[in-house]
Amino acid sequence: MSTDVDLEDEQYEKHREAGEILQTVRAEAVERIEVGASHLELVEHVESRIRELGGEPAFPMNVCVDEEAAHGTPSIDDDSTFGEEMINIDIGVHVDGWIADAAITVDLSGNDELAEASAEALDAAIEMVEPGIDTSVLGDVIGRTIEGYGYQPVVNLTGHGLGHYEQHTSPNIPNKKIPEGVELEVGDVVAIEPFATDGRGRVGEGNAEQIFALENDSSVRNRKAREALDQITEDFRTLPFATRWLDVDRPEMTLRRLKQRDIVHGYPILKEQKGSLVSQKEHTLVITEDGCEVITR
């Protein structure tokens, strides 16, 4: 994107509006997290409030605990409650497809320094952002900051660009130094997303899936599957959605059918090794001529 981009265009105003909504609901979410509180009640409150405030969820609110790093969200009848755990919440909001994305750790486990490590890494990276900065440089400062706390960055998770109805686009923003990155340009909208862990520094896929996204819009004969596909293409487009969002009976079975046909793909929960903890902090930034504008702070 060239330096003559107009950051007052409607696109950027909608990113900012999404960011303002996100700031409000994130604060409300943090206030509701305590030992014994319901995961499902929390996400239903946040997702409902996003809509009340004039936005739409850009993806199902993620709730991850302890070794879980990403893609956790409650099932339809989930009865999970918070314990003395490390809790990461990741919230996305869009206004007409223009997205803001942010995450924060709420620590109920007594490991404040691990939460501080990812937050400090994010601050250090934001401080360096300007047009022309190479993403490998940002990865280096993120990784070194986390390691300075005695922890590991999660190297196979990254920050990312945000497109129109696209939650993850280029460029990737690594959490550790890489040989070669790309330069950020004026007008880029990116989410920087450090993850810190006392584990090995790499996540793997679990078995559980509650988040899905459209892979291709093919025809299906089954009535329920067709109804679900109509809702997906109309309401969510290419953005991720939760099983509990579908207005069909037995949505789990319907999604299995659509997945078997490669019409949707799932997002397995991403986890560190058992017994470890993961913290996360994320903000969305618009790259400006003299640095950046953090729209979710």
**pLDDT at position 1, please?**
45
Annotated catalytic residue: which of 101, 140, 209, 293? 101
pLDDT, tens only, 144-163: 999 999 999 999 999 999 99
Catalytic status, residue 282 = yes
**Homologous superfamily, domain 10-203+274-294:** Creatinase/methionine aminopeptidase superfamily (3.90.230.10)
Name the architecture of domain 208-269. Answer: Orthogonal Bundle (1.10)
Q: Residues annotated in the binding site, as ranges?
A: 71, 90, 101, 160, 168, 193, 282
**pLDDT at position 156, please?**
97
pLDDT, tens only, 165-187: 999 999 999 999 999 999 999 99
Average pLDDT of the residues in 85-108: 98
**pTM: predicted TM-score of the whole model, two decimal places:** 0.96
pLDDT, tens only, 75-90: 999 999 999 999 999 9
Catalytic status, residue 168 = yes
Per-domain residue ranges of the chain: 10-203+274-294, 208-269
**pLDDT at position 2, please?**
46
Q: Residues annotated in the binding site for a divalent metal cation, as ranges?
A: 90, 101, 160, 193, 282
Catalytic status, residue 90 = yes
Annotated catalytic residue: which of 67, 120, 193, 272? 193
- Rounded percentage of the chain residues whose pLDDT exceeds 90: 96
Reply yes or no on whether the pLDDT at 188 is more than 60: yes
What's the per-residue H, E or C state across the chain? CCCCCCCCCHHHHHHHHHHHHHHHHHHHHHHHCCCCCEHHHHHHHHHHHHHHCCCEEEEEEEEEECCEEECCCCCCCCCCECCCCEEEEEEEEEECCEEEEEEEEEECCCCHHHHHHHHHHHHHHHHHCCCCCEHHHHHHHHHHHHHHCCCEECCCCCEEEEECCEEEEEEEECCCCCCCCCECCCCCEEEECCEEECCCCCCEEEEEEEEEEECCCCCCCCHHHHHHHHHHHHHHCCCCEEHHHCCCCCHHHHHHHHHHCCCEEEEEEEECCCCCCEEECEEEEEEECCEEEECCC
Average pLDDT of the residues in 52-67: 98
Reply yes or no on whether the pLDDT at 228 is more than 60: yes
